[in-house]
Chains A and B, each alone.
Chain A
Amino acid sequence: MASHRLKSTLVAWGFLAPALVLFLYFKFIPMATALRMSLYEVRTYLGDEWVGLDNYRTIVSDERFTAAIWHSALLTVGVTAGSMLLGLVLALLVEGRAKYLWFVRTAAFLPVVTTLAVVAEVWRILYYPADNGPLNTVLGWVGLGPLPFLANEHSSLLSIMAVGVWKGAPYDMMIILAGLAGVDRTLYEASAVDGATTWGRFRHVTLPSLRGVFGILFILAAIRGLRVFTEVFLLTNGAPNGSTEVLMTLIYKLGLQQGELGVAAAGSVVLFLATVVLTLAVRLVRRRGAA
């Protein structure tokens, strides 16, 4: 009997082994490596030298890092809020069972499943800063522009934000739609009987039922925002004049192009901690709100 139990335990761990080994090699060992490297000056042939918290001090005091942290935060807040707001509006507009609404939903969702690299390259084209660039032409029809978009340090970060909202809003729309489907229809009817307007119905019935959905979207978007890399790397790579440098593009430059592995690792650890704190904080707030 005992050997039978032993065998079943072994089988269970055997089935788990591939996942655990892969996670160990490609998640946990890199994380430990990051922690270790962040405390050293990493030198390829000379051997690493212990520097304590110097790399972290560099991050806090280096202007490029403080600017990058600021840009990442701005981008995160802008993209998160913009996507959720636009996503909500879109969801309300396309809610329903009609066939044409299904078509609009599907079309609007395409940016979400388009590879980020393609999204960035397409927007580089749309943002082409000449007077007759694609987006400037459209702006010209309504008497606006031309705008420099990515080419000017005052508009570059906002332009990247807009791309994030373009790709993020349809995602939020889909999740909010799932939330809307869960709202009790009889409540709508009841509130109509009570003489509530559409706005009243939305405020007092719909919005409260969506609170949980918004919480989740907020966490997901905030984490996505902090780790943003690909679109910035391809759209501007930090230019012009560092106005769009975010944490990950700076970490990439330092770690993989300039060989400053220690500082880059410290930056990664800080980014990781920010992600964890954010996740836990939002969870905590939500739990308190629910209780």
Chain B
Amino acid sequence: MMGDRYDSVLGLDARRGPLAVILKILLYATMTVVFAGPLLGVLWGAFSKIVDPTQFTLVPEHGLTLENFRRAADRNVFGYLLNSFVVVGVGLLLQIMVSIFAAYSLARKRLRGAAIVMLLILSTMMLPEEVLAVPLSVVLADLPVVHLDLIGSYAGMILPVAAWGFSILVMTEFMKEVPIELEEAARIDGAGELRTFFSIILPMCRPALGVIGVFGFTMIWDQYLLPLIVATDSPQYTLPIALRTLRGDEEVGIGVLLAAALLALLPSVLAFLAFQRQFVRGLTSGAIKG
């Protein structure tokens, strides 16, 4: 029943009187402006002649232009964007593979020590990357045993995010639901370990891939402290950490910042809009399991 009085606590949807409608419009408009307005301002500002913060508005009123993006190109914004794409592309691919492999083992194999491994994975989720930033910078400069220096390299920004506890847990929970009979049937047909994995398990996990994909994407795209530590010279910057170097420009003022900010916010916002259902599902399942 649409608009049922018991659909929600307040039952606002069921109130249809003229005064109620006006109040609701005002309320929802305010909410939308407060939370989405500043981002809409970035969108217009990126295409406007906007020299300083006092000209930042929700509606374009200073004439549209592409000049900001031209200046942004001069100042290597597209180079930073490329760096971001490399890091998020390779990083996400690795993260998904690592998660699927680990989840396969945890969910489908009888493993002595699985409980300890689970505990270790949970404990990494209690180690926020900020806490590890300083020691991580030391470790990245000289990886133990292999003695590699990852400071200033893509690998330094990618490898630390390639294994993510959240993503492994979501995947493990999901794989536990895949019926074991399918796997046994494949084995009886003589399929090997890898073949079973790729032809039976992986296709069954498509819905969960959407969840860990969109979450992993936002997680890596949102990285700040890690690239700040790793990228020592400006050509290595990812777009988010380059933003603060673009706060002013002698030709287009803060327009160049807004153009870069738009490019930095679009990918994660678009990923969210495209995978909204998976996103909300992952958000609530992740939160409810702690």
A residues with a Cβ closer than 8 A to B are 8-9, 11-16, 18-20, 22-23, 25-31, 33-34, 37, 90, 92-98, 100-101, 103-104, 106-111, 113-118, 121-126, 128, 130, 132-134, 137, 166, 170-171, 174-175, 178, 180, 183, 185, 188-189, 192, 198, 201-202, 206, 212-213, 216-217, 219-220, 223, 227, 229-230, 233-234, 248, 251-252, 255-256, 261, 264-265, 268, 271-272, 275-276, 279, 283
Q: Across the interface, which residues of B come within 8 angstroms of A170, CB to CB? A: 35
Interface residues of B in 27-74 (CB under 8 A from A): 27-28, 31-32, 34-36, 38-39, 41-42, 52-54, 56-57
Q: Are B134 and A264 in contact (CB under 8 A)?
A: yes
Q: Are A15 and B101 in contact (CB under 8 A)?
A: yes
**Top 9 A-B pairs, shortest CB-CB distance:** A128-B53, A22-B163, A255-B134, A117-B240, A12-B109, A15-B105, A95-B8, A178-B284, A19-B102
Question: Is B212 part of the contact surface with A, judged by Cβ < 8 Å?
Answer: no
The smallest C-beta distance from A251 to any residue of chain B, in angstroms, reads 6
Question: Is B177 part of the contact surface with A, judged by Cβ < 8 Å?
Answer: no
Interface residues of B in 201-219 (CB under 8 A from A): 218
Q: Are A206 and B283 in contact (CB under 8 A)?
A: no
Question: Is B127 part of the contact surface with A, judged by Cβ < 8 Å?
Answer: yes
Query: Given A16-B102, A18-B102, A192-B6, A272–B131 Cβ distance below 8 Å?
Result: yes
Q: Across the interface, which residues of B come within 8 angstroms of A113, CB to CB? A: 218, 268-269, 271-272, 279
Q: Are A115 and B6 in contact (CB under 8 A)?
A: no
Specify the chain A residue showing the minimal Cβ separation from B52: A128
Q: Are B244 and A125 in contact (CB under 8 A)?
A: no
Q: Are B268 and A22 in contact (CB under 8 A)?
A: no
Contact of B163 among A14, A18, A117, A121 (CB under 8 A): A18
Q: Provide the bound-state CA to CA distance between A219 and B128, in Å.
A: 13
Q: Provide the bound-state CA to CA distance between A211 and B208, in Å.
A: 28
Q: Provide the bound-state CA to CA distance between A9 and B193, in Å.
A: 12
Q: Across the interface, which residues of A come within 8 angstroms of B221, CB to CB? A: 115
Question: Is B99 part of the contact surface with A, judged by Cβ < 8 Å?
Answer: yes
Question: Is B159 part of the contact surface with A, judged by Cβ < 8 Å?
Answer: yes
Q: Are B7 and A110 in contact (CB under 8 A)?
A: no
Question: Is B17 part of the contact surface with A, judged by Cβ < 8 Å?
Answer: no
Q: Are B42 and A122 in contact (CB under 8 A)?
A: yes
Question: Is B90 part of the contact surface with A, judged by Cβ < 8 Å?
Answer: no
Dominant secondary structure at the A interface: helix
Q: Across the interface, which residues of B come within 8 angstroms of A283, CB to CB? A: 290
Q: Provide the bound-state CA to CA distance between A200 and B65, in Å.
A: 55
Contact of B13 among A26, A101, A175 (CB under 8 A): A101
Q: Are A12 and B283 in contact (CB under 8 A)?
A: no
Specify the chain A residue showing the minimal Cβ separation from B267: A115
Query: Given A16-B101, A100-B28, A92–B229 Cβ distance below 8 Å?
Result: no
| Cross-chain pairs A/B with CB under 8 angstroms, 9 sampled | A15-B105, A18-B163, A94-B31, A107-B36, A117-B264, A121-B261, A212-B288, A216-B290, A275-B128
Interface-centre pick from A12, A19, A25, A223 (highest chain B CB count, 10 A) = A19
Q: Provide the bound-state CA to CA distance between A100 and B27, in Å.
A: 12
Q: Across the interface, which residues of A come within 8 angstroms of B112, CB to CB? A: 9
Interface-centre pick from B8, B12, B31, B276 (highest chain A CB count, 10 A) = B8
Chain B interface residue bracket vs A: 35 or more
Specify the chain B residue showing the minimal Cβ separation from A114: B265
The smallest C-beta distance from B195 to any residue of chain A, in angstroms, reads 13
Query: Given A96-B13, A216-B288, A275-B131, A114–B268 Cβ distance below 8 Å?
Result: yes
The smallest C-beta distance from B250 to any residue of chain A, in angstroms, reads 18
Q: Provide the bound-state CA to CA distance between A155 and B279, in Å.
A: 35
The smallest C-beta distance from B105 to any residue of chain A, in angstroms, reads 4
Query: Given A25-B143, A108-B31, A256-B229, A19–B168 Cβ distance below 8 Å?
Result: yes
Question: Is B280 part of the contact surface with A, judged by Cβ < 8 Å?
Answer: yes
Question: Is B144 part of the contact surface with A, judged by Cβ < 8 Å?
Answer: yes
Q: Across the interface, which residues of B come within 8 angstroms of A252, CB to CB? A: 133-134, 225
Query: Given A18-B98, A26-B160, A121-B247, A110–B135 Cβ distance below 8 Å?
Result: no
Q: Are A125 and B120 in contact (CB under 8 A)?
A: no
The smallest C-beta distance from B223 to any residue of chain A, in angstroms, reads 9
Q: Provide the bound-state CA to CA distance between A26 and B159, in Å.
A: 8
Question: Is B184 part of the contact surface with A, judged by Cβ < 8 Å?
Answer: no
Q: Across the interface, which residues of B come within 8 angstroms of A220, CB to CB? A: 287
Specify the chain A residue showing the minimal Cβ separation from B97: A18
Q: Are B284 and A174 in contact (CB under 8 A)?
A: yes
Query: Given A13-B111, A25-B139, A125-B56, A114–B269 Cβ distance below 8 Å?
Result: yes
Specify the chain A residue showing the minimal Cβ separation from B146: A25
Question: Is B9 part of the contact surface with A, judged by Cβ < 8 Å?
Answer: yes
Question: Is B137 part of the contact surface with A, judged by Cβ < 8 Å?
Answer: yes
The smallest C-beta distance from A105 to any residue of chain B, in angstroms, reads 9
Q: Across the interface, which residues of B come within 8 angstroms of A134, CB to CB? A: 41, 53-54, 56-57
Q: Are A95 and B9 in contact (CB under 8 A)?
A: yes
Question: Is B81 part of the contact surface with A, judged by Cβ < 8 Å?
Answer: no
